Amino acid sequence: MALTTAFDVDPLPATFGAVVTGVRFADLSAPDFEALYATWLTYGLLILPGQHLSNDEQVAVARRFGPLEIELSPISNVRADGSVRPADSDDDIVKVLKGNMGWHCDSTYMPVQAKGAVFTAHVVPEAGGETEWADMAAAYEDLSPKLKARIAGRSARHSLRYSQGKVGHVHKGGSAYSGYGMTVEDPPLRPLVKRHPETGRDCLMVGRHAFGVTGLDAAESEALLEELTTLACRPPRTWRHSWTPGDAVIWDNRRLMHRACPWDMALPRVMYHSRIAGDPVSEFAAAS
């Protein structure tokens, strides 16, 4: 059933996502925010062009969706002095940006997985640097009965130290990168199939942070996770957004994986990320 809203909703040609226009994200009334929240749960990803949110407005908008895990973090290859970090350097920030080009959900490597994120574009390259999302609810529904049976009851560990290690990133003291997530000693164990706490849909839980599937050896685990990710991240279950400065998006981290797309890293790309904290009941995963 279509939602009645005070704004316009144009669904994307995918299994998820919509473009929302006719409203300023930072100025939503309480009833309009309630309608937007319901729209968000329905579509998983909302793209709001031309918002030009200030940093304070972004934090305030994100906070309406719940407590924040990270208030505001630049996702940027530009230093404070305006210079661009060399793409071929041993810079931890650059390695994090490169790692983010792999499919993932945010904070699965922490004890409590994030609920969602508000993301804004400030400076974007003329080509590349898009963000792509993949629908893990539709992906699970589309798996074969045989593959569903194979993964039923299995879990995998999630570690940022593991995933960043694949791009040669070992966190260094004194780095410009805070090291958030890299110091977790006991990687949480998360089920390969996770029920969404608000929609009730089953979603795949895979991505670059996952490893060590229960009951499988390392090679079998890696092959299974790669197979699941490859099957999941195909049209019509994916959407790639080309950014325009001023764009804002909000996505459901419990349903969608995402990744940054490559660009010429000699060119600046400046985005801001606010991460919405997960419910410590529904999103908690212990290390054992």
Could you tell me which of 208, 195, 210, 174 has the C-alpha nearest to residue 255? 195
Q: Among positive and negative, which fits the CA dihedral 19, 23, 29, 31?
A: negative
Integer Cα distance of 252 and 46 in angstroms: 9
Q: Is 34 helix (H, G, I), strand (E, B) or coil?
A: helix
Residues whose CB falls within 8 Å of the CB of residue 119, separated by 6 or more in sequence, listed in order: 75, 131, 248, 249, 250, 251, 271, 272, 273, 274
Average pLDDT, the chain: 95
Q: What is the CATH number of the domain that holds 111?
A: 3.60.130.10
- Please give the model's pTM, rounded to 2 decimal places: 0.95
Residue 190 lies in a domain: yes
Give kind and range of the element (H or E) at residue 146.
helix 145-151
Residue 154 lies in a domain: yes
Give the residue-averaged pLDDT of 117-145.
Answer: 98
What pLDDT, on a 0 to 100 scale, did the predictor assign at position 4?
A: 60
Give kind and range of the element (H or E) at residue 39.
helix 30-43
Integer Cα distance of 143 and 162 in angstroms: 27
Residue 281 lies in a domain: no
Residue 33 lies in a domain: yes
Residue 285 lies in a domain: no
Integer angstrom CA distances of residue 149 from 135, 143, 153, 228, 254:
20, 10, 9, 13, 22
Number of CB atoms found within 10 A of residue 251's CB? 26
> Which amino acid, residue 33?
F
The token duo for 210 is 């996952």
Integer Cα distance of 25 and 181 in angstroms: 30
Residue 244 lies in a domain: yes
Give the residue-averaged pLDDT of 86-115.
Answer: 95
Total domain count, the chain:
1
Range of the domain at 28: 8-276
pLDDT digits (tens, 9 = 90+) for 229-273: 999 999 999 999 999 999 999 999 999 999 999 999 999 999 999
The two beta strands, 248-252 and 45-48, are: antiparallel
pLDDT digits (tens, 9 = 90+) for 168-226: 888 777 676 777 888 898 999 999 999 999 999 999 999 999 999 999 999 999 999 99
Beta bridge partners of 155: 191
The token duo for 278 is 């997960």
Residue 284 lies in a domain: no
The token duo for 78 is 């530009």
Give the residue-averaged pLDDT of 151-179.
Answer: 87
Q: Is 93 helix (H, G, I), strand (E, B) or coil?
A: helix
Angle subtended at Cα 23 by Cα 22 and Cα 28, rounded to the nearest 5 degrees: 155
Residue 2 lies in a domain: no
